[in-house]
Amino acid sequence: MSKRVAILISGGGSNMVSLVDDMTDDHPARPVLVLSNRPDAGGLEKARARNIPTAVVDHRRFGSDRAAFEAALTDVLEQARPDILCLAGFMRVLTEGFVSRWEGKVLNIHPSLLPKYKGLHTHARAIEAGDPEAGCSVHEVTAELDGGRVLGQARVPVLPDDTAATLAARVLVKEHALYPAVLRRFASGDTCRKDLP
Ligand code: GRF
């Protein structure tokens, strides 16, 4: 039986598309829901165009009540009965309460070579530090921000004239290869770390 995957987004959803487009044929999983915390997320239209059910839980309706927002997210997710949640450019920090409900089932892609540069502005920080390379990581989600076990990384060189934008674009190409590769393994029960060459 295929694993059921829900994908959480906040923006353009290019990582979501790379996951969805890989989940065909002998892939051990299928997408069952694309959920956004922003009604205007560009990825929602891309999901609809692929006949994937979509939902919106607008975090702004809940003000600073994070627990209420996460309870609403969980309600919507439970109806879709996912086996795996993929955070793909989902820009809300999730707390212990949410994470423990879905423990061991949540993946995220982060645009840095973790444990370096958790949080925001990862590309600018890599350039500022003079790092010779940058990249992305897929990791299990725990209550510690960007702190769960890494399941795969991909690397790119940092070039002398890179800006945060040019480096982000080069890393994003790797994200689109790395996340589907890790999800395929994870959905078939393989939780070993494997980096892209
Ligand atoms: C990606 O760089 C992801 O790593 C970061 O936000 C960006 C989302 O892009 N967390 P998209 O919405 O998948 O196009």
Residues 6+ apart with CB under 8 A from 6: 31, 32, 33, 34, 35, 77, 80, 82, 84, 85, 86
d(CA 173, CA 94): 26
User: Closest ligand 1 atom, CA of 136?
Assistant: 4
> For position 83, what pLDDT does the model report?
98
**Which pTM was predicted?**
0.97
Distance 139 CA to ligand 1 centre (A): 14
**Catalytic residue list contains 110:** yes
pLDDT at residue 60 is higher than 90: yes
Q: pLDDT tens digit string along 119-174?
A: 999 999 999 999 999 999 999 999 999 999 999 999 999 999 999 999 999 999 99
Q: Return the half-sphere exposure (C-beta side, CA atoms, 13 A cut-off) of residue 21.
A: 11
Domain layout of the chain by residue ranges: 3-187
User: Closest ligand 1 atom, CA of 111?
Assistant: 4
pLDDT at residue 180 is higher than 90: yes
Among residues 59, 110, 123, 139, the one annotated as catalytic is 110
> For position 182, what pLDDT does the model report?
98
> For position 1, what pLDDT does the model report?
85
Strands (E), the chain: 3-9, 29-36, 54-56, 84-87, 106-110, 133-140, 150-157
Q: pLDDT tens digit string along 74-95?
A: 999 999 999 999 999 999 999 9
Strands (E), 71-112: 84-87, 106-110
- What integer is the mean pLDDT of 58-64? 97
Distance 96 CA to ligand 1 centre (A): 23
> For position 91, what pLDDT does the model report?
95
Residues 6+ apart with CB under 8 A from 79: none
CATH fold group of domain 3-187: Rossmann fold (3.40.50)
Give the closest residue (by CA) to ligand 1 atom 3.
Answer: 89
Q: What percent of the chain has pLDDT over 70?
A: 100
pLDDT at residue 2 is higher than 90: yes
